[in-house]
Protein backbone atom coordinates (compact mmCIF):
# COMPACT_ATOMS: atom_id res chain seq x y z
CA UNK A 1 0.00 0.00 0.00
CA UNK A 2 1.44 3.36 -0.98
CA UNK A 3 2.18 6.00 1.64
CA UNK A 4 0.30 9.27 1.96
CA UNK A 5 3.27 11.19 3.43
CA UNK A 6 7.01 11.16 3.21
CA UNK A 7 7.53 11.80 6.93
CA UNK A 8 5.19 11.65 9.92
CA UNK A 9 6.26 13.39 13.12
CA UNK A 10 4.25 11.54 15.73
CA UNK A 11 2.99 12.79 19.11
CA UNK A 12 4.30 16.35 18.87
CA UNK A 13 3.13 19.05 21.25
CA UNK A 14 1.81 22.08 19.35
CA UNK A 15 2.08 25.62 20.77
CA UNK A 16 -1.60 25.66 21.77
CA UNK A 17 -1.21 22.53 23.91
CA UNK A 18 -2.63 19.98 21.48
CA UNK A 19 -0.75 16.71 20.86
CA UNK A 20 -0.93 15.55 17.23
CA UNK A 21 0.94 13.96 14.35
CA UNK A 22 2.33 16.22 11.60
CA UNK A 23 2.53 14.67 8.14
CA UNK A 24 4.98 16.08 5.60
CA UNK A 25 5.23 15.69 1.82
CA UNK A 26 6.48 17.77 -1.09
CA UNK A 27 8.21 20.20 1.26
CA UNK A 28 4.97 21.16 3.01
CA UNK A 29 2.79 20.16 5.92
CA UNK A 30 -0.05 18.11 4.46
CA UNK A 31 -1.93 17.12 7.61
CA UNK A 32 -2.04 17.84 11.34
CA UNK A 33 -3.99 15.33 13.41
CA UNK A 34 -4.16 11.59 13.32
CA UNK A 35 -1.13 10.15 11.58
CA UNK A 36 -1.06 9.41 7.86
CA UNK A 37 0.75 6.44 6.33
CA UNK A 38 4.32 7.61 5.85
CA UNK A 39 7.59 6.36 4.40
CA UNK A 40 9.28 7.36 7.64
CA UNK A 41 7.88 7.95 11.10
CA UNK A 42 9.66 9.70 13.96
CA UNK A 43 8.39 9.48 17.53
CA UNK A 44 8.44 13.03 18.88
CA UNK A 45 6.85 12.35 22.25
CA UNK A 46 7.87 14.98 24.74
CA UNK A 47 8.90 17.49 22.07
CA UNK A 48 7.37 20.92 21.40
CA UNK A 49 7.05 21.73 17.69
CA UNK A 50 7.64 25.33 16.64
CA UNK A 51 7.95 26.89 13.20
CA UNK A 52 11.54 27.37 12.05
CA UNK A 53 12.93 30.78 12.95
CA UNK A 54 13.92 33.42 10.38
CA UNK A 55 17.12 35.23 11.37
CA UNK A 56 17.16 38.32 9.17
CA UNK A 57 20.63 39.50 10.22
CA UNK A 58 23.65 37.19 10.02
CA UNK A 59 27.22 37.47 8.72
CA UNK A 60 28.21 34.04 7.43
CA UNK A 61 31.77 35.11 6.56
CA UNK A 62 33.25 32.53 4.14
CA UNK A 63 34.77 33.54 0.83
CA UNK A 64 38.47 33.35 0.16
CA UNK A 65 39.52 35.56 3.08
CA UNK A 66 37.11 34.92 5.97
CA UNK A 67 36.39 31.19 5.90
CA UNK A 68 38.72 30.68 8.85
CA UNK A 69 36.18 32.58 11.01
CA UNK A 70 33.07 30.82 9.66
CA UNK A 71 31.76 29.44 6.38
CA UNK A 72 28.38 28.46 5.02
CA UNK A 73 28.73 24.88 6.25
CA UNK A 74 29.47 25.70 9.88
CA UNK A 75 27.30 28.82 10.01
CA UNK A 76 24.21 27.14 8.55
CA UNK A 77 24.66 24.04 10.69
CA UNK A 78 24.89 26.33 13.71
CA UNK A 79 21.60 27.90 12.61
CA UNK A 80 19.85 24.54 12.35
CA UNK A 81 21.12 23.46 15.76
CA UNK A 82 19.47 26.60 17.15
CA UNK A 83 16.10 26.12 15.44
CA UNK A 84 16.75 28.67 12.68
CA UNK A 85 15.70 27.39 9.24
CA UNK A 86 16.25 30.64 7.27
CA UNK A 87 19.13 33.10 7.51
CA UNK A 88 19.65 36.40 5.69
CA UNK A 89 23.33 37.07 4.99
CA UNK A 90 24.59 40.64 5.13
CA UNK A 91 26.65 41.89 2.16
CA UNK A 92 29.65 43.48 3.95
CA UNK A 93 31.69 40.51 2.81
CA UNK A 94 35.28 40.78 1.59
CA UNK A 95 34.89 42.13 -1.04
CA UNK A 96 31.47 43.72 -0.50
CA UNK A 97 28.54 42.67 -2.69
CA UNK A 98 28.26 45.82 -4.81
CA UNK A 99 27.82 44.14 -8.23
CA UNK A 100 25.56 41.49 -9.69
CA UNK A 101 28.61 39.35 -10.50
CA UNK A 102 29.85 39.42 -6.91
CA UNK A 103 26.34 38.67 -5.70
CA UNK A 104 25.98 35.65 -7.98
CA UNK A 105 29.33 34.35 -6.71
CA UNK A 106 28.06 34.57 -3.13
CA UNK A 107 24.87 32.72 -4.07
CA UNK A 108 26.92 29.97 -5.73
CA UNK A 109 29.07 29.55 -2.63
CA UNK A 110 26.05 29.35 -0.34
CA UNK A 111 24.16 27.02 -2.69
CA UNK A 112 27.07 24.60 -2.57
CA UNK A 113 27.62 24.69 1.19
CA UNK A 114 24.48 25.81 3.08
CA UNK A 115 22.31 23.43 5.12
CA UNK A 116 19.47 25.87 5.86
CA UNK A 117 17.44 28.23 3.70
CA UNK A 118 19.19 31.48 2.93
CA UNK A 119 18.67 34.89 1.40
CA UNK A 120 21.44 37.36 0.64
CA UNK A 121 21.20 41.15 0.76
CA UNK A 122 22.78 43.65 -1.61
CA UNK A 123 25.37 46.16 -0.39
CA UNK A 124 24.58 49.88 -0.40
CA UNK A 125 27.36 52.31 -1.28
CA UNK A 126 28.10 55.02 -3.83
CA UNK A 127 29.48 52.32 -6.15
CA UNK A 128 26.68 49.77 -5.78
CA UNK A 129 24.60 48.64 -8.75
CA UNK A 130 21.33 48.66 -6.83
CA UNK A 131 19.10 47.66 -9.73
CA UNK A 132 21.55 45.00 -10.91
CA UNK A 133 21.69 43.49 -7.41
CA UNK A 134 17.89 43.47 -7.19
CA UNK A 135 17.60 41.64 -10.49
CA UNK A 136 20.34 39.22 -9.44
CA UNK A 137 18.16 38.16 -6.51
CA UNK A 138 19.00 40.39 -3.54
CA UNK A 139 16.42 39.73 -0.83
CA UNK A 140 16.81 43.25 0.59
CA UNK A 141 19.48 45.95 0.83
CA UNK A 142 21.85 46.40 3.76
CA UNK A 143 22.94 46.23 6.47
CA UNK A 144 23.61 49.77 5.20
CA UNK A 145 26.34 51.49 7.18
CA UNK A 146 25.67 55.07 8.18
CA UNK A 147 28.64 54.61 10.52
CA UNK A 148 31.69 52.44 9.97
CA UNK A 149 31.78 49.00 11.57
CA UNK A 150 33.54 45.68 10.98
CA UNK A 151 34.01 45.23 7.21
CA UNK A 152 31.54 48.03 6.50
CA UNK A 153 32.47 51.56 5.47
CA UNK A 154 30.21 54.50 6.25
CA UNK A 155 28.08 55.73 3.35
CA UNK A 156 27.73 59.50 2.97
CA UNK A 157 24.32 61.15 3.46
CA UNK A 158 24.17 62.16 -0.21
CA UNK A 159 24.94 58.61 -1.35
CA UNK A 160 22.30 57.27 1.03
CA UNK A 161 19.65 59.66 -0.28
CA UNK A 162 20.33 58.55 -3.88
CA UNK A 163 20.23 54.87 -2.88
CA UNK A 164 16.99 55.36 -0.93
CA UNK A 165 15.31 56.76 -4.05
CA UNK A 166 16.32 53.79 -6.19
CA UNK A 167 15.38 51.25 -3.50
CA UNK A 168 11.98 52.88 -2.98
CA UNK A 169 11.29 52.72 -6.72
CA UNK A 170 12.10 49.01 -6.66
CA UNK A 171 9.69 48.54 -3.73
CA UNK A 172 12.51 46.84 -1.83
CA UNK A 173 13.48 46.87 1.86
CA UNK A 174 16.57 48.69 3.13
CA UNK A 175 18.13 47.86 6.51
CA UNK A 176 20.20 50.45 8.36
CA UNK A 177 23.13 50.42 10.79
CA UNK A 178 22.89 53.65 12.78
CA UNK A 179 25.62 55.02 15.02
CA UNK A 180 27.43 58.31 15.63
CA UNK A 181 30.98 57.44 16.72
CA UNK A 182 32.99 59.73 19.00
CA UNK A 183 36.79 59.73 18.58
CA UNK A 184 38.72 58.34 21.55
CA UNK A 185 40.64 55.45 23.07
CA UNK A 186 38.65 52.21 22.78
CA UNK A 187 40.15 50.36 25.75
CA UNK A 188 37.25 48.63 27.52
CA UNK A 189 33.54 47.85 27.33
CA UNK A 190 32.91 51.08 29.25
CA UNK A 191 34.98 53.10 26.80
CA UNK A 192 33.43 51.35 23.79
CA UNK A 193 29.95 52.22 25.05
CA UNK A 194 30.95 55.84 25.65
CA UNK A 195 32.39 56.20 22.14
CA UNK A 196 29.24 54.74 20.51
CA UNK A 197 26.44 56.21 22.68
CA UNK A 198 22.77 55.37 22.36
CA UNK A 199 22.10 59.08 21.80
CA UNK A 200 24.25 58.76 18.68
CA UNK A 201 22.08 55.90 17.44
CA UNK A 202 19.04 58.13 17.81
CA UNK A 203 20.72 61.10 16.09
CA UNK A 204 21.81 58.95 13.17
CA UNK A 205 18.34 57.43 12.81
CA UNK A 206 16.78 60.89 12.67
CA UNK A 207 19.32 61.98 10.05
CA UNK A 208 18.45 58.99 7.88
CA UNK A 209 14.69 59.31 8.37
CA UNK A 210 14.89 62.88 7.09
CA UNK A 211 16.31 61.50 3.84
CA UNK A 212 13.80 58.69 3.33
CA UNK A 213 12.19 58.76 -0.10
CA UNK A 214 8.39 58.54 -0.33
CA UNK A 215 7.28 54.94 -0.07
CA UNK A 216 10.63 53.65 1.23
CA UNK A 217 10.44 50.52 3.40
CA UNK A 218 13.16 50.87 6.05
CA UNK A 219 14.29 48.70 8.92
CA UNK A 220 16.71 49.78 11.67
CA UNK A 221 19.27 47.13 12.65
CA UNK A 222 20.36 46.08 16.17
CA UNK A 223 18.94 48.90 18.29
CA UNK A 224 20.57 48.76 21.70
CA UNK A 225 18.47 50.90 24.05
CA UNK A 226 14.96 52.19 24.71
CA UNK A 227 16.09 55.63 23.50
CA UNK A 228 16.77 54.40 19.96
CA UNK A 229 13.88 51.91 19.97
CA UNK A 230 11.41 54.64 20.89
CA UNK A 231 12.85 56.84 18.13
CA UNK A 232 12.26 54.02 15.63
CA UNK A 233 8.63 53.80 16.69
CA UNK A 234 8.29 57.49 15.84
CA UNK A 235 9.60 56.96 12.28
CA UNK A 236 6.97 54.89 10.46
CA UNK A 237 6.95 53.01 8.15
CA UNK A 238 10.31 51.94 9.60
CA UNK A 239 10.61 48.83 11.75
CA UNK A 240 13.50 47.70 13.93
CA UNK A 241 15.23 44.73 15.51
CA UNK A 242 16.89 44.02 18.84
CA UNK A 243 19.66 41.47 19.38
CA UNK A 244 19.97 38.90 22.20
CA UNK A 245 23.32 40.37 23.26
CA UNK A 246 21.61 43.65 24.15
CA UNK A 247 19.02 41.74 26.18
CA UNK A 248 21.34 39.28 27.95
CA UNK A 249 24.70 41.08 28.28
CA UNK A 250 25.78 44.35 29.86
CA UNK A 251 28.96 46.14 30.88
CA UNK A 252 28.39 45.06 34.48
CA UNK A 253 26.94 41.59 33.78
CA UNK A 254 28.69 39.56 31.11
CA UNK A 255 29.44 36.33 32.92
CA UNK A 256 32.94 34.91 33.13
CA UNK A 257 34.06 35.63 29.55
CA UNK A 258 36.70 38.28 28.76
CA UNK A 259 35.45 41.78 27.92
CA UNK A 260 36.65 41.42 24.32
CA UNK A 261 34.17 38.57 23.77
CA UNK A 262 31.35 41.08 24.34
CA UNK A 263 32.71 43.79 22.04
CA UNK A 264 30.10 44.50 19.39
CA UNK A 265 28.64 47.43 17.44
CA UNK A 266 26.42 48.97 18.73
CA UNK A 267 27.91 48.17 22.14
CA UNK A 268 26.44 46.28 25.03
CA UNK A 269 25.22 48.95 27.41
CA UNK A 270 24.92 49.42 31.15
CA UNK A 271 22.78 47.07 33.21
CA UNK A 272 20.03 49.65 33.72
CA UNK A 273 19.69 50.06 29.95
CA UNK A 274 19.59 46.28 29.41
CA UNK A 275 16.79 45.90 31.95
CA UNK A 276 14.87 48.83 30.44
CA UNK A 277 15.12 47.21 27.00
CA UNK A 278 13.52 44.05 28.41
CA UNK A 279 10.66 46.21 29.67
CA UNK A 280 9.97 47.10 26.02
CA UNK A 281 9.70 43.46 24.95
CA UNK A 282 6.12 43.67 23.69
CA UNK A 283 6.94 46.67 21.47
CA UNK A 284 9.96 45.05 19.78
CA UNK A 285 8.96 43.85 16.27
CA UNK A 286 11.96 41.59 15.46
CA UNK A 287 14.68 39.72 17.28
CA UNK A 288 17.70 38.85 15.13
CA UNK A 289 21.15 37.57 16.07
CA UNK A 290 23.69 39.72 14.17
CA UNK A 291 25.73 36.49 14.08
CA UNK A 292 29.25 37.82 13.49
CA UNK A 293 31.94 35.26 14.37
CA UNK A 294 35.62 35.94 14.92
CA UNK A 295 38.26 33.52 16.20
CA UNK A 296 39.26 33.04 19.83
CA UNK A 297 42.66 34.53 19.00
CA UNK A 298 41.13 37.64 17.46
CA UNK A 299 38.80 38.17 20.42
CA UNK A 300 41.62 37.59 22.96
CA UNK A 301 43.79 40.51 21.85
CA UNK A 302 44.07 43.79 23.73
CA UNK A 303 40.62 45.36 23.77
CA UNK A 304 41.42 48.11 21.28
CA UNK A 305 42.53 45.50 18.72
CA UNK A 306 39.57 43.17 19.20
CA UNK A 307 37.16 43.13 16.22
CA UNK A 308 33.51 43.78 17.01
CA UNK A 309 31.07 40.92 16.60
CA UNK A 310 29.44 38.02 18.44
CA UNK A 311 28.36 34.56 17.20
CA UNK A 312 24.69 34.12 18.03
CA UNK A 313 22.55 32.34 15.41
CA UNK A 314 22.61 29.07 17.38
CA UNK A 315 21.81 30.60 20.78
CA UNK A 316 19.17 33.21 19.79
CA UNK A 317 16.04 31.07 20.04
CA UNK A 318 17.32 28.77 22.82
CA UNK A 319 18.07 31.72 25.12
CA UNK A 320 14.64 33.22 24.54
CA UNK A 321 12.73 29.93 24.74
CA UNK A 322 14.29 29.42 28.17
CA UNK A 323 12.69 32.74 29.14
CA UNK A 324 9.35 31.44 27.85
CA UNK A 325 9.68 28.36 30.04
CA UNK A 326 10.44 30.58 33.02
CA UNK A 327 7.26 32.59 32.36
CA UNK A 328 9.04 35.84 31.55
CA UNK A 329 7.71 36.18 27.99
CA UNK A 330 4.88 34.59 26.02
CA UNK A 331 5.57 31.95 23.38
CA UNK A 332 3.25 33.74 20.95
CA UNK A 333 5.27 36.94 21.25
CA UNK A 334 8.54 35.07 20.68
CA UNK A 335 7.19 33.48 17.49
CA UNK A 336 6.02 36.86 16.20
CA UNK A 337 9.51 38.30 16.66
CA UNK A 338 11.63 35.42 15.31
CA UNK A 339 9.31 33.90 12.69
CA UNK A 340 6.33 35.83 11.42
CA UNK A 341 7.36 39.50 11.45
CA UNK A 342 10.79 38.97 9.85
CA UNK A 343 9.23 36.74 7.20
CA UNK A 344 6.57 39.38 6.49
CA UNK A 345 9.14 42.17 6.20
CA UNK A 346 11.22 40.12 3.78
CA UNK A 347 8.23 38.92 1.75
CA UNK A 348 8.97 35.23 2.31
CA UNK A 349 6.89 32.29 3.49
CA UNK A 350 7.20 30.96 7.02
CA UNK A 351 5.65 27.87 8.52
CA UNK A 352 2.37 28.34 10.37
CA UNK A 353 2.19 24.67 11.46
CA UNK A 354 -0.95 24.43 9.34
CA UNK A 355 -1.54 22.24 6.26
CA UNK A 356 -0.15 23.88 3.15
CA UNK A 357 2.58 25.86 4.89
CA UNK A 358 6.30 25.13 4.46
CA UNK A 359 7.56 22.21 6.51
CA UNK A 360 10.21 24.30 8.25
CA UNK A 361 10.02 23.08 11.83
CA UNK A 362 12.06 22.68 15.00
CA UNK A 363 11.26 20.30 17.86
CA UNK A 364 12.38 21.23 21.37
CA UNK A 365 12.34 19.47 24.75
CA UNK A 366 9.45 20.54 26.95
CA UNK A 367 10.37 22.59 30.01
CA UNK A 368 14.01 21.45 29.91
CA UNK A 369 17.00 23.74 29.65
CA UNK A 370 20.69 23.03 29.28
CA UNK A 371 23.79 25.00 30.13
CA UNK A 372 25.30 26.75 27.12
CA UNK A 373 28.96 25.92 26.54
CA UNK A 374 31.13 26.64 23.53
CA UNK A 375 32.06 22.95 23.30
CA UNK A 376 28.50 22.00 22.35
CA UNK A 377 27.97 24.73 19.73
CA UNK A 378 28.70 24.39 16.01
CA UNK A 379 30.09 27.75 14.90
CA UNK A 380 33.71 27.73 13.80
CA UNK A 381 34.28 30.65 16.19
CA UNK A 382 34.63 28.19 19.07
CA UNK A 383 33.42 30.54 21.80
CA UNK A 384 30.26 32.20 23.07
CA UNK A 385 29.58 35.20 25.33
CA UNK A 386 26.63 33.22 26.75
CA UNK A 387 28.87 30.61 28.41
CA UNK A 388 27.05 29.20 31.45
CA UNK A 389 23.61 30.64 30.62
CA UNK A 390 20.57 28.44 30.09
CA UNK A 391 19.02 27.58 26.72
CA UNK A 392 16.50 25.22 25.15
CA UNK A 393 17.95 23.63 22.00
CA UNK A 394 16.03 21.64 19.37
CA UNK A 395 16.59 17.93 18.93
CA UNK A 396 15.21 17.91 15.37
CA UNK A 397 15.05 20.63 12.71
CA UNK A 398 13.25 20.17 9.37
CA UNK A 399 13.79 22.35 6.30
CA UNK A 400 11.25 21.89 3.53
CA UNK A 401 10.20 18.56 4.97
CA UNK A 402 13.78 17.30 5.01
CA UNK A 403 15.30 16.19 8.32
CA UNK A 404 18.23 18.59 8.18
CA UNK A 405 19.30 18.20 11.81
CA UNK A 406 18.61 15.39 14.23
CA UNK A 407 20.43 14.96 17.51
CA UNK A 408 23.73 16.40 16.29
CA UNK A 409 23.62 14.86 12.80
CA UNK A 410 23.19 17.05 9.72
CA UNK A 411 21.81 16.36 6.25
CA UNK A 412 21.87 18.78 3.31
CA UNK A 413 18.78 19.43 1.19
CA UNK A 414 18.51 21.05 -2.25
CA UNK A 415 16.87 24.30 -3.36
CA UNK A 416 17.64 26.39 -0.27
CA UNK A 417 18.22 29.82 -1.86
CA UNK A 418 15.42 32.39 -1.42
CA UNK A 419 15.83 35.06 -4.12
CA UNK A 420 14.16 38.43 -3.76
CA UNK A 421 11.08 39.57 -5.66
CA UNK A 422 13.14 41.35 -8.31
CA UNK A 423 15.06 38.25 -9.36
CA UNK A 424 15.64 37.78 -13.09
CA UNK A 425 17.56 34.66 -14.01
CA UNK A 426 20.57 35.33 -16.22
CA UNK A 427 21.06 33.48 -19.52
CA UNK A 428 23.80 31.35 -17.95
CA UNK A 429 21.64 30.13 -15.05
What 3-state DSSP class applies to 85?
Answer: strand
- Of 113, 198, 290, 360, which is the active-site residue? 290
**Quick check: 166 and 130 in contact, CB under 8 A?**
yes
Q: Which residues pair with 24 in a beta bridge?
A: 7, 29
Host H or E run for residue 40: strand 38-43
Strand pairing of 217-220 and 239-242? parallel
What 3-state DSSP class applies to 161?
Answer: helix
What 3-state DSSP class applies to 43?
Answer: strand
Host H or E run for residue 63: helix 63-66
Q: What is the rounded CA–CA span in Å between residue 343 and residue 421?
A: 13
Q: Cα 285–291–292 angle (5° rounding)?
A: 135
Is position 290 annotated as part of the catalytic site? yes
406 burial type by CB count under 10 A (0-12 exposed, 13-18 middle, 19+ buried) = middle
DSSP 197-258: -HHHHHHHHHHHHTTPPTT-EEEE----SHHHHHHHHTSTT-EEEE-HHHHH--SS--TTS-
Q: How far apart are the first and last CA of the chain?
A: 40
Among 53, 5, 49, residue whose Cα is nearest residue 31: 5
Residues catalogued as catalytic: 290
Amino acid sequence: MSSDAEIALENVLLPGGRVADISLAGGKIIHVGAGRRADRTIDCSGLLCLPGAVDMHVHMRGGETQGYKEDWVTGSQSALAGGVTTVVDQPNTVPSLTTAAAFRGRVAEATRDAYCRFGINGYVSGESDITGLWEAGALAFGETFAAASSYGSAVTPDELAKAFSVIANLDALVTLHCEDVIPGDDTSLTAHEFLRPDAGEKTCMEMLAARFSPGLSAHFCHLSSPLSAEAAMMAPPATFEVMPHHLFLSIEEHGTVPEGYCKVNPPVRHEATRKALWEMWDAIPVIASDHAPHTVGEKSQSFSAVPSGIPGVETMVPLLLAQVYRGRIALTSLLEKVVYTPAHLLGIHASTLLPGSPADLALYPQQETETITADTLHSRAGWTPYEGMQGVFPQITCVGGHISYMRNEFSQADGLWIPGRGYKASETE
